[in-house]
Structure 1
Amino acid sequence: MACRISELVIDVADPERLAAFWSEVLGYVELGREDDGSIEIGPPDAGFGGPQPTLVLSPSSSPRTGKLPLHIDVNATDRDQNAELERLLALGARPADVGQTGTESWHVLADPEGNEFCLLRTRLQPL
Structure 2
Amino acid sequence: MLHIGSIVWGVKNLLRALKFWTQGLNCRLRNPPDDDWAVLVPVEGPGVQLALSLVTSEKARRHHLDLCATDQQAEVERLLALGARRADWSYPPHADFVVLEDPDGNRFCALQR
Q: TM-score range by the shorter chain?
A: 0.3 to 0.5
Of structures 1 and 2, the one scoring higher in RCO (CA 8 A, sep 6+) is 2
- What TM-score do the two structures reach when normalised by structure 1? 0.41
Structure (1 or 2) with the greater strand fraction? 2
